[in-house]
Structure 1
């Protein structure tokens, strides 16, 4: 019996022996004095969604809000350490290194990305990107800061904000991913790019079809970020009648496998261990699906009340995510629901996990710290 089959059988065995766990609320951050926002009048106006997934660094939790504020909380108590009102609207996502938090302006008013001192919220440097109006989730990698704004991938010096290079693409769609010094990105027009992070030189620029790259007829579905593990790339595409997950060799761009889906992908593709994970919205139901990452066949599907629209996060045994008004913990080998908890408002960010603690932001501007009690 190979190790892969053994892991599946052991997961099923322990699933049969264990009962569901519980998610206990440790603390809740609640915003004060939210101003009316006409952009969100359809939701009542007096809301300030958490738009960047919480970042946990030592004992501090960082996140940004729709209104352009950046917060630092005590991760154990939920108390505000500092906050900085920097923009009229914040971009999706943020990044960090040992010194700074990086996040950007979300609309066309200012077109800036800034580095903020983690200790006090002071702006250390800012970079203004020209003739663009949206900014993707930034990524920090070995002293470099990557982000996408409409028709370019930008690479900055993370220490001082100096531009190293920019690379032309065709519209933004998700987050750049770095593996072995290569930036992978999938854009609005079904192209997949591989770019040297040191030089900005292209390794390949390809378009997907059923036979591989360099053909027309497909477009991106889902959020568009590429997942990378070892020598394989994983992404979502769609044609006229079918949605697919596909896998390629990251060096040769050879098509390794493809799997047709019954529904639309709403989350980024994620990969952990031997499985590829994604959230699929069908006509009558919503599921988290796990595929074998080596050949693409389906391992399990877990039905949800609402589809997940954010990234999944993992530890050695479980996967964590928000979907609709719920927070879920699933056994990543079997799809068994380990724990879930439902609230009176939509979950709006990734569910960040640190040990037994889970942090997640909501549409109305609250941040929950949840503790997973042993299942």
Structure 2
């Protein structure tokens, strides 16, 4: 096991492209490392936290920052190619101003923007010239990628009692003419990519589905947040094939599949490797921060809300969440390249596991 330490939390998911490993950190920097040795090739400093996952294409790395800007930097050198300032967004990306933006990749000029009813945290996917993305307004959108014209929209559920049981935070997977995504209404959806009609949905007993799905060999894989369940469904029918109960582990990280093994991280700082043929956990890795979790979690992984949030749950919500993040949570999604799995953690490290 190797690791590279930054000066902030690593929520950004790492990306391996053209022989380099790219990721952002809340220390305001985007890093490029040699994936074999973990040595730093270069870093680019913005004026805000970088929690977005970078995209690499044509020798350019694209990413957004909490400074409100969207950057394009040279993948080999880390030199700035161009920067789009606040209110102009990013290349095929959602924004906190409720818009979905499309920018010219070469120049950064605005091609089009589309207004949704709330913030857009999910990453879009493009298939067949159509862009698919969900919004916190509880709608899932299909847009023409060239013009930004709306093709269709799909309405998810809303909880009339608990106000925050709404919105789509999960990014989408597209396979065989179907789009798959989770929702904060506690359901997982399969929607026809051409028509926007529901194929099927799967209930999750009041638990958000924030983790994005993976689709492979006719099966769809996803995990829940509050209930700590990992589900495998038939991609065509939505029929449950099997589930693994991780008890109190909360999943915000999205799964990655390589060589018959699925990798997914938990809020408690554990990276789980699941053998898909045996349908069981093959091994678990704990981040450095999770080994010093103190009072935030009990030994079995149960969140210790009294210790984390004191006596006033809502008054101390921000403080409590920061305590839980400080224990090395894995919100970043793992990436597998060759025989190595890379993952970031809120303890400030990026880990390379072989």
TM-score band, normalised by the shorter chain?
Answer: 0.7 to 0.9
DSSP-derived class of the 1:308 partner: coil
RMSD of aligned Cα (Å): 2.3
1:129 aligns with 2:86: yes
Runs of 5+ unmatched residues, structure 2: 290-327
In structure 2, relative to structure 1, the CA distance for the partners of 1:303 and 1:221 (3 Å cut) is: farther
Determine if contact 2:154/2:197 at 8 Å carries over to the other structure. no
* C-alpha distance 256-49 of structure 1, shift in aligned 2 (>3 A): same
For 1:118, which of 58, 75, 78 is the aligned residue?
75
Task: Name the structure, 1 or 2, with higher relative contact order (CA <8 Å, separation 6+).
Answer: 1
Contact 1:101/1:118 (8 A) holds in 2: yes
1:231-242 to 2 correspondences below 5 Å: 231-237=177-183
The answer on whether the counterparts of 1:190 and 1:219 sit within 8 Å (CA) in structure 2 is: no
Residue by residue, what CA displacement relative to the aligned partner does 1:106-158 show, whole Å, maximum 9, x if unpaired? 1xxx421010011111111111232x8xx7xx7xxxxxx31111211101111
Q: Find 1:158's aligned residue among 105, 111, 114.
A: 105
Q: Distance in 1 between matches of 2:107 and 2:181?
A: 33
Q: CA deviation at 1:194?
A: 0.6
Residues 1:338 and 2:282 aligned together: yes
Question: Greater CA radius of gyration, 1 or 2?
Answer: 1
- Residue 225 of structure 1 aligns with which residue? 171
Equivalent residue, structure 2, for 1:303: 245
Confirm or deny: 8 A CA contact 1:188 1:219 kept in the other structure: no
Unmatched runs of 5 consecutive residues or more in structure 1: 1-24, 35-47, 139-144, 211-216
Q: Aligned equivalents of 2:10 and 2:259: distance in 1? A: 27
SS at match of 1:223: coil
Which residue of 2 is the match for residue 28 of structure 1? 3
| Contact 2:62/2:71, CA 8 A, preserved across alignment | yes
Find the counterpart in structure 1 of residue 349 from structure 2.
Answer: 366
Aligned residue number for residue 62 of structure 1: 22
How far, CA to CA, are the matches of 2:183 and 2:350 in structure 1? Answer: 33
Deviations 1:250-284 (A, max 9, x none): 112222112222341231233222112221245xx
Look up the match of 2:189: 246
> For residue 314 of structure 1, what is the aligned residue in structure 2?
257
Give yes or no for contact 2:343–2:351 (8 Å, CA) kept in 1.
yes
Given that 1:115 and 1:125 are in contact with CA atoms closer than 8 Å, whether structure 2 keeps it comes out as: yes
Is the 1:54–1:360 Cα contact (8 Å) retained in structure 2? yes
**Normalized per residue, which structure has more strand?**
1
Q: C-alpha distance in 1, partners of 2:258/2:132?
A: 24
- 1:79 paired with 2:36, answer no
The one of 82, 85, 92 equivalent to 1:146 is 92
Structure 2 residue matching 1:81: 3-state secondary structure = strand
Asked if 1:90 corresponds to 2:65, the answer is no
Moved more, 348-357 or 333-342: 333-342
Residues 218-262 of structure 1: CA deviation (Å, up to 9, x unaligned): 9645623222111112223465xxx22221211122221122223
Residue 100 of structure 1, aligned match among 44, 50, 60:
60
| TM-score, normalised via structure 1 length | 0.76
1:278-293 alignment runs, 5 A limit: 278-282=222-226, 286-293=228-235
